[in-house]
Amino acid sequence: MSDPDFLESGRRLFAGPCEFIWGASKIDGLPPASLPEIAVAGRSNVGKSSLINALTGRKTLARMSRTPGRTQELNFFELNGQLRLVDMPGWGYAAVGKEKVASWTELLRAYLRGRSVLLRVLVLIDGRHGLKPVDIEMLDLLDKSAASYEIVLTKKDEIKGSAAEQRLTDMRAALAKRPAAYPEVLFTSAHTSEGLPELRASIARLIAERQTSH
Ligand code: GDP
C-alpha cells in the first residue's frame, strides 16, 4: 500500500468504535493477547490524554486512566475490533510512594518483555521541553526490554517553526544511540491536529505489516 492508502486506513481505523475494555494491575491479569497492541507512555502532563482523545475523536476516553485506582494499571482500549491501545499511565507520579513505583515498574517490564502482540510503544515527549530525566528513565527501560518504541512529540502549536525543526533534529540525534528506538519522530498537536493523520497512518502501517508477516 502507498502512503495515501495508509492515511485513509488510519483514518478509518480511528473513526471506528473505541471502548475501554480492561484494566490490569498484575501481569497475570492481562487480557488475552488476541489483537495487536500499541502502548502509549509519557510522564504526567505531557499531553497523553489529549492526544489519545484527539486521535480517537473522543473527549472522555483517556480520562478513564486517571480515575483513582487506574493510574497504576495498564488500561486497554479496543479500536474498531482491530487494535488495542494500551495506556501506561504510571510515569511521573512521584506522590504514589516507592513501593507502588516498584510494583508498577515490575508490571511494565513484564509486559514489555513478554507481550507477543505488542507492535510498538509510543513514547510521548513534551515538544516544548525535549527529554527530561524521567523521560530518559523511560527510554532506558524500553531499551532494556528491547520493546520497539517510537517518540511522538506533543504540543507543536506552542513551538515556532525553526525551534520545532531543531527539536526534531536533537531528538533524532538522541535516538541514534538507542538500539530499540524507531528512527523517525513525529511532531503532533492535540489542539490543531497537526501530525495526527500521520500518526494514525503509521499505526495502520504497523498493523498491515504484522498481517503480512504472519
Ligand atoms: P496528560 O497528563 O499527559 O494526560 O496530559 P493532558 O492531556 O491532561 O494535558 C496536560 C496539559 O497540556 C493540559 O493543560 C492540556 O491542555 C495541555 N495540552 C495537551 N495537549 C496539548 C497540545 O497539543 N497543545 C497545547 N498547547 N497544549 C496541550
Please report, for the chain, the start and end positions of each structural domain, with discontinuous segments joined by +. Answer: 3-213
Which residue do the cell numbers 486497554 mark? 76
Label residues 29-56 b or e (16+ Cβ within 10 Å = b): ebbeeebbbbbbbbbbebbbbbbbbbbb
Unique residue bearing C-alpha cell 530499540: 180
Determine the pLDDT at residue 90.
66
Name the residue type at position 72.
Answer: Q
What pLDDT was estimated at residue 21? Answer: 92
**pLDDT value at position 94?**
56
**194 alpha carbon – ligand 1 mean position (Å):** 14
Which pLDDT value is given to residue 65?
Answer: 61
- Taking alpha carbons only, the member of 126, 119, 96 closest to residue 25 is 96
Please report the pLDDT score of residue 104 as a whole number: 82
Domain 3-213: top CATH class: alpha beta
User: Does pTM surpass 0.95?
Assistant: no
Residue spans of the chain under pLDDT 50: none
Closest ligand 1 atom to Cα of 154: 23
Distance CA 134, CA 193 (A): 26
How many Å lie between the centroid of ligand 1 and the Cα of residue 150?
A: 19
Quote the CA–CA distance of 79 and 17 in Å, as a whole number.
6
| CA of 7 relative to ligand 1 center, distance in Å | 24
**The pLDDT value given to residue 99:** 75
Which residue has the CA at smallest separation from atom 24 of ligand 1? 155
